[in-house]
Structure 1
Amino acid sequence: MTNMTIKIEGMSCQHCVMRVKKAIDAVAGVTKSDVTVGNASIEFDESKTKKQDIIAAIEKAGYRVQKTG
């Protein structure tokens, strides 16, 4: 399993948290997600999904992932 923590822009309330969590959890291979306003910690199986697939799901839900590095 792979873990990643990302910062998410555009979240301001519990509704945003639930929307992002639902989007992340719908990605095949995600085994665990902990979402708070502005952040998400995600555990996923790299043989089933890629980091970019999770980021794409968040962005499709209407939020922007802060690029790091």
Structure 2
Amino acid sequence: MDEVTIKVEGMSCGGCVKNVTGVLKALSGVAEAQVSLENASATVRYDPAIVSLEALRAAVENAGFDAPAS
């Protein structure tokens, strides 16, 4: 398992955190997703053989938030 922290811009409330957490956990290969409103980030444990970092970012962006490459 790899772990990555993705910057997530545009979250403003607990509902946003739940939304981002849900879309990340729904991806095949994601073991855990911890989303922080305060840090504007998501820390994700995932299997890179199943899901790519680009797919993680795309899921966040498709949910209506920005996930810029750091």
TM-score by length of 1: 0.94
SS at match of 1:64: coil
RMSD: 0.7
Where is the strand percentage greater, Structure 1 or Structure 2?
Answer: 1
Q: Give how far 1:57 is off.
A: 0.5
Percentage of identical aligned residues: 34
TM-score by length of 2: 0.93
Q: Which residue of 1 aligns with 2:55?
A: 53
* Counterpart amino acid of residue 35 in structure 1: V
Query: Which segments of 5 or more consecutive residues in structure 1 lack a partner in the other structure?
Result: none
Moved over 4 A (4+): none
Q: How many residues align?
A: 68
